[in-house]
Amino acid sequence: MSRKPPVDATTVRGSAGPGAEGVVATERALALTVLCHPDPARVGEVAFLEPGARLSRLEPEFAPVADGGARRPLGDPHVSRRPQRIEVGASSAEVGGGGEVIELGDRICLLLHRRGRPRELPPELGLSGSSDAILATRAEILRVADLDAPVLVRGETGTGKELVARALHASSHRSAGPFVAVNLAAVPAPMAASQLFGHVRGAFTGAAGDQEGVFLRADGGTLFLDEVGEVPAEVQPVLLRALDSGEVWPLGAAQSRRVSVRVVAATDADIETRATAGDFKAPLFHRLAGYVLQLPPLRERRDDVARLLFRFLREELAAAGEPARLDPEDPLAGEPWLRAAAVAALVRHDWPGNVRELRNAARRLVIDSRGEPSARPERLLAELGAHRTAAPASGARSLDSAAVLAALERCGWKPGATAAALGISRTTLYGLMQRMPGVRKARDLSRAEILESHRATGGDVDRMASALQVSRRGLVLRMRELEMDLVRARR
């Protein structure tokens, strides 16, 4: 954990960790990014440092990333005029992979890190931030947006996969057409084919009329298949055929219908491992992954945490009827609404839920502080501190069985949510579960257990998974496996 140097310290020692290679930057250089300042409008400004650079109230000068506007020093009278020498040493503490947080008193904090010197900034495309990683992502979107190649968007939960899909659509020649999104994890397996391809009247019990599926609704535009890793096995061949042929066959229809759809799929699952295991058809994976776009987790764009935090705070304060909290008339004269120590703690947090978790944290902070003269982050920080105990900020994650079991129970035995809560990948979670004697696997469930649970829950698969303490997907696969056995036994 990085330390909090006194304001008049003669030396600031930092460590610049690795980050994303920005394709819109000419080089990576040592920089200071403003995380907190009495004037919140200055959050996100950057000063690129030359050898021998010093830090004080009067130097260096900061400016928005690639803005070309006026450069100015920190200028806060509470920061000493006496310069501090900035040195980077291998022994300095790191914050994840993003550099070191430096606190100057309780009004200013900075991030010492390495970043690119952008030649120009790509359009925002609905993806806020100015870090190397997010600038590279936006540039990558623009490179592939005007093509009809399918795109597979990969990234942890909360990284903004649907925002990327919408950006791809809005920047394409299909932008005037429809954008249709479907979360395949929320579609019951028996209804998946109908949801995707539609059906005609009388195709099955309850089909009172014709209904278009999402492929037909997206004709001429973009279809976003979220959580594509959850496509039922029996639907995967039909989906592959639709992608290959450009034709869909509604259930019960006498003939197929041709569609022109650009498919963008998204997942946080390890599809390659599942394809190797036979749970996901490899040809479908390769068809969806015409171009793979990997989204960076928030912990790898740590200089964006404060930029996003203050943006979300403005929006939430406006919604709460207190829009002026962050805009004092003379910011350097008064006390800031949010203290630097709180911002520093939030920047150091690993954010396993990524941007979605940060947005929720901003909302909770505003609600907890309503009617107060200054922000009250104590409860939020305490909760995040407890979270960090279960998920260390850097290095190998040391998780005992009790911590994993507790997280599984809190998250309803859902692997994706549990992995995000623990700040680890699904693959790592599966490995931990394999080594834990207290965790039963879905494949170990007997037919009698499943039938009893089905009766007790009325067939609600989510409740069954929670009661049986297995993942929903594992339970569904086990039920299909047993059903296949029953079918073979009847022959």
Concatenated DSSP letters of 431-442: HHHHT-TT---G
| pTM of the full structure | 0.73
Q: Which amino acid is at 307?
A: R
Per-residue pLDDT of 351-383, as tens digits, reads 989 999 999 999 999 999 998 889 999 999 988
Residue 33: name the closest of 102, 88, 85 by CA: 102
Give residue for tokens 């980077």. Answer: 88
Sign of CA dihedral 309, 314, 320, 324: positive
**Are 76 and 57 in contact, with CB atoms under 8 Å apart?**
yes
CA distance 265 to 162: 9
* CATH 1.10.8.60 is held by the domain 11-120+299-388: yes
Burial 244-255 (b: 16+ CB within 10 A, else e): eeeebbbbeeee
Question: What string of pLDDT tens digits covers the 491 residues of the chain?
Answer: 333 433 333 334 333 333 333 344 456 789 999 999 999 999 999 999 988 889 999 999 999 987 666 899 999 998 988 888 886 654 343 433 478 999 998 899 999 999 988 878 889 999 999 999 999 999 999 999 999 999 999 999 999 999 999 999 999 999 999 999 999 888 877 788 888 888 777 667 666 667 888 999 999 999 999 999 888 888 898 899 999 998 887 777 777 789 999 999 999 888 888 888 888 889 999 999 999 999 999 999 999 999 999 999 999 999 999 988 888 777 777 788 999 999 999 999 999 899 999 999 999 999 999 988 899 999 999 888 754 433 433 333 446 667 777 778 777 777 777 777 776 666 667 667 766 666 777 777 888 888 888 888 888 887 888 888 887 777 887 887 676 444 344 34
417 token code pair? 């949510």
CA distance 465 to 408: 11
Reduced DSSP (H G I as helix, E B as strand, rest coil) percent helix, strand, coil of the chain, to 5: 40, 15, 45
Angle CA(121)–CA(126)–CA(132) in degrees, nearest 5? 40
CA distance 412 to 400: 19
CA distance 469 to 91: 44
Domain ranges of the chain: 11-120+299-388, 150-289, 396-426, 442-490
**Looking at the domain that runs over 150-289, which CATH code has it been given?**
3.40.50.300
Sign of CA dihedral 236, 237, 243, 247: negative
Dihedral, CA atoms, 295, 298, 303, 308, nearest 10 degrees? 100
